[in-house]
Structure 1
Amino acid sequence: MSVETLPFIAAVGRMIRAAGRRTADADEPELAALMALEVDVRRAIQTAVDGQLAIGRTWSHIASAAGITRQAAHKRWSRKDAEVTR
């Protein structure tokens, strides 16, 4: 499964960039739909972080992936409640 993950993420990135180009000359509903993807991406990252922690990864591993300090990663993605509010 992990072999397919990086190409899958790369394809999603290409699609998001293409959506930005297409939306550049579109109307407000398309812009709103593209902006709503930001919430989806934040939730996807939270799900991934939660999963990484569940399989035993440390905050140091997560911080390294994010290019930030362990403390910053913990502050940003630690769950204080069940709902993602960021």
Structure 2
Amino acid sequence: MSRRMVETLDQIAFAKRIIRSVGRRCAAGDDFELAELASIRDELEDAITYAVHGLRAQGQSWQYIGDALGIRRQSAQERYARPPSASLAGTSEGLSPLM
């Protein structure tokens, strides 16, 4: 496994831990916090779309992408054919800077 892959998997694991932690904190919070937590869905969908477009640019098939996402090839193509959000193109890594 390449170092880059390990780092990416570590980042994904970290993001999952943070999201679970925020969910627990929001459970004791208010409507505003819940709405902010729900807004993560949009960011995640944008990140997945950005990743799909990157993989497609590298020559990966819709079948490969669908398999990775646990959906049919046609569903992947229909869902992710749109260009990624401009917010992800803001930095060298394609991710919005941390605030």
State the TM-score, normalizing by the size of structure 2: 0.76
**Aligned pair 1:76/2:79, yes or no?**
yes
- Residue 82 of structure 1 deviates from its aligned partner by 6.3
- Pairwise CA RMSD of aligned residues? 1.6
Q: 2:38 aligns to what?
A: 35
- Residue 83 of structure 1 deviates from its aligned partner by 5.2
Instruction: Structure 2: state its 5+ residue gaps.
Output: 87-99
Instruction: Structure 1: state its 5+ residue gaps.
Output: none
1:26 equivalent among 12, 26, 29: 29
State the TM-score, normalizing by the size of structure 1: 0.87
Contact 2:52/2:65 (<8 A) preserved: yes
Instruction: Please list every run of at least 4 consecutive aligned residues from structure 1 whose deviation after the TM superposition is greater than 4 angstroms.
Output: 81-84
The count of aligned residue pairs is 83
Distance 1:26 1:59 in 2: 41
**Aligned pair 1:64/2:88, yes or no?**
no
Identity %: 42
**Aligned pair 1:3/2:6, yes or no?**
yes
Q: Which letter does structure 2 place at the counterpart of 1:8?
A: Q
Assess, with a 3 A threshold, how the Cα gap between structure 1 residues 83 and 40 changes in structure 2: closer, same or farther.
closer
